[in-house]
Structure 1
Amino acid sequence: MYPPFVGIQTRRFNLRLLNDADASFILGLLNEPDWLKYIGDRGVHTLNDAKAYIHSGPLAMIKKYGFGLYLVERQEDHMPVGLCGLLQRDGLSWPDIGFAYCAQFRRQGIAFEVAQATLEYAQSVLGLTKVAALTAINNEASIGLLRKLGFAYERQIALTGQAETSNLYFKTL
């Protein structure tokens, strides 16, 4: 099993475990137009839904696999800006990197900085040698980020429970 998560730091950001106090942020993020368009409606429409999502989603995955999605917050003021981490999906033999940021925090180099640190963590702490990534077919911003991070396109894939096919990428660490 993997060591307990103690956080990831970048030059400007901290990644930490989500908690109930993050419910308002999660409620907003999961209802942003791009989240709904590219990731899908997770049925999170109230603060209680957001708390349930935190516990049944990211925290449950961390408990089960030793990794999951983490809250990304600015170091200077602890302002939450998004989520990033590793996910273990049915149908994929390798964990995949996942990320989502509030619209006002995009185009500032945050996703690249945090994803690089997450991949370093995957290699140095978790001992992973390969990481997958999934994007919606037409999510050009995420596709561009994955290319910049050195991921290679593999093929389109339909995972169990997903209505749409996704692009599948891999990166050897």
Structure 2
Amino acid sequence: MRETPRLEIRQLVVDDAPFIQTLLTSPSWMEFIGDRGVKNEADARWYIRDVQQANYEKYGFGLYLIYEKALLQPIGLCGLLQRDFLDAPDMGFALLDEYAGKGYAREAAEAVLDFARSKGYSRLYAFTIQHNPRSQGLLGRLGFSHTRTMPSPDGRHEFWVFERTL
């Protein structure tokens, strides 16, 4: 998809399953994003194949693997999601905890913003739960503005909705 000075951002492949299992079961993923039903490597293969690869085919985008070139390893995900209730994609990102706060999420998100522009999108959304100030701060630095709140689908949290014109 894109490359930056430190990162390669590419589509997920089934061989990424061990990393996806680790990320989607990490404490911060569970706290800020929620359980996606990935408990083992077989579930991670399902998530890659039937969710993300299906999104690539259906929408031309999805979540992409963030691969740190100097470390020679994956460190997170960043990309676009299409929600049934939105008229434009929303941007999402998540890193393993040990890579947070080092500028990786911003670097990957800026590449995804460039990708969205190249696809002709004029607006993007992003969501965080109310108690996720780190992601909210990054969205502000990326030019997103908090526009409203809405309940999460499970009713357990309040989502903060952000928007950005491209």
Which amino acid in structure 1 is aligned with residue 136 of structure 2?
I
Deviates more, 1:75-84 or 1:132-141: 75-84
Aligned-residue identity in percent: 41
Which amino acid in structure 2 is aligned with residue 61 of structure 1?
N
Secondary structure at 1:128 match in 2: coil
Confirm whether residue 14 of structure 1 aligns to residue 8 of structure 2. Answer: yes
Distance (Å, rounded) in 2 between the aligned partners of 1:87 and 1:43: 18
Distance (Å, rounded) in 2 between the aligned partners of 1:52 and 1:24: 12
Q: 1:29 aligns with which of 18, 23, 26?
A: 23
Partner of 1:166: 159
Q: CA shift at 1:31, angstroms?
A: 0.7
Distance (Å, rounded) in 2 between the aligned partners of 1:93 and 1:165: 20
Which amino acid in structure 1 is aligned with residue 137 of structure 2?
G
Q: Which whole-Å deviations, capped at 9, do the CAs of 1:45-102 have from their partners, x for residues lacking one?
A: 1110000011122111111100110000012353100000000012111100000000
Secondary structure at 1:117 match in 2: helix
Question: RMSD of the alignment, in Å?
Answer: 1.2
Aligned residues between the structures: 165
Secondary structure at 1:108 match in 2: coil
Which amino acid in structure 1 is aligned with residue 36 of structure 2?
R
Confirm whether residue 157 of structure 1 aligns to residue 162 of structure 2. Answer: no
Gaps in structure 1 of 5+ consecutive residues: 1-6
Deviates more, 1:41-50 or 1:70-79: 70-79
Partner of 1:131: 124
Question: How high is the TM-score relative to the length of structure 2?
Answer: 0.95
Q: Which whole-Å deviations, capped at 9, do the CAs of 1:103-155 have from their partners, x for residues lacking one?
A: 111111001111011101110x2111111101111111100100111101100
Q: 2:58 aligns with which of 30, 53, 64?
A: 64
Q: CA shift at 1:158, angstroms?
A: 3.2
Gaps in structure 2 of 5+ consecutive residues: none
Partner of 2:107: 113
Question: How high is the TM-score relative to the length of structure 1?
Answer: 0.91
